[in-house]
Chains A and B, each alone.
Chain A
Amino acid sequence: MATIQKTVVSTEVGPRELAAGLVYVHDIELDGEELAPGQRVEIRDGAGDFHAAVVVDRVGPRWKLRIQP
C-alpha cells in the first residue's frame, strides 16, 4: 500500500491573494520545511480551510505559489 504525503503550508489567504491567484510564503512561515518549483502543496489558511496550490518560483526569501482553481 502506498502512502501519499502532501506538504501543508500555513499562511494567510485573503481577498488580496484570491484576487491575484497567488500566495507568497516566506521561509519564516515554513518552519524549516523545504519547497521546490513544480511541487504541489496544500495551503491551510487562518480559517482552517485548505487551498490546493503549485510552487511556481523562488523570489528572494519567499516562495511564489499559484492557487489552483
Chain B
Amino acid sequence: MQGPSVRWRHDGRLLLADDDTLLRFHVADHNNLLNKAAADADLYGSVLAHLGQEPRWEALVLSTYAPGTAEEHRELHEAWRSRRFVEARVGELREHDVPVWPTATFIDGVPDPFNHIHFDVVAAVGAGLVPPALHPQTSGNKLERRQARAQLAALIDPVLVLFSDQQQAL
C-alpha cells in the first residue's frame, strides 16, 4: 500500500492504567503540529469504521507512545533523537473525556518499530474538521491559512495543554 496508513491495533500494549503516561516528541513548532494533524486527518477511515463511526469523517489526533519500561523509554528517545518531549497522564486524559486509541501506523506498509506501544490521543472526530483554506484544492492565501490553523488550534490546544513539558535526564 502506497502512502501513510493507520489501523486499529489488536496486539501489543492495549490496556492503560490511569497512572500510565503517554509521550509525544517533536512538539516545539506549534504550526507544524497543527499542519501534521490536519494532514493526517483523512487516514482514520478504517479506525472510525472499527468504532462504528462514519469512515468518511476526519480525526484530529496527537500521535503518542506508552513505554512500559525504562528500556522502552530510552529506546524511544534514541529513535526520535530527542531528549525533549511532552507527557500526559492517562487518568487526566480520561477525566477530560479525551479518547485514546491503540493504533498502528505504516508508511508504504512499513510499520513504526514502536507500533506495539503506539496510541493516538483524539482531539476531535467529525466531518469537515480541516478548514477548506488548508485543503490543496481550495488552498487559501497565507492569511487564510493562518486563520484556518487558528480554527484547528481551538480543537487541538485544549488536549495539548494536558501534556506537560519534560526533558529526559542525562
Contacts and interface: CB of A to CB of B under 8 A. Distances in A.
Interface of A: 10-12, 14-20, 22-29, 31-32, 45-49, 59-62, 64
Interface of B: 2-4, 25-29, 31-33, 35-36, 38-40, 79-82, 84, 105-108, 110-114, 130, 134-136, 139, 142, 145
Nearest to B106: A16
Contacts, number: 96
A20 B145 CA distance: 30
A46 B28 contact: yes
B81 A49 contact: yes
B26 A12 contact: yes
Given A24-B107, A59-B2, A29 B36 contact: yes
B32 A31 contact: no
A12 B33 CA distance: 9
Chief secondary structure at chain A's binding surface? mixed
Given A31-B35, A47-B80, A14 B26 contact: yes
A18 B78 CA distance: 12
Nearest to B24: A46
25 contacts: A11-B36, A12-B36, A14-B26, A14-B112, A15-B80, A16-B105, A19-B113, A20-B108, A24-B107, A25-B39, A26-B39, A27-B136, A27-B139, A28-B135, A31-B35, A31-B145, A32-B142, A46-B27, A46-B32, A47-B25, A49-B81, A59-B2, A59-B3, A62-B3, A62-B4
Contacts of A11: 32, 35-36
A31 B80 CA distance: 25
Nearest to A13: B26
Given A16-B111, A16-B112, A20-B110, A48 B28 contact: yes
A19 B114 CA distance: 11
Nearest to A61: B136
Contacts of B29: 10, 46
A62 B81 CA distance: 25
Contacts of A28: 35, 38-39, 130, 134-136
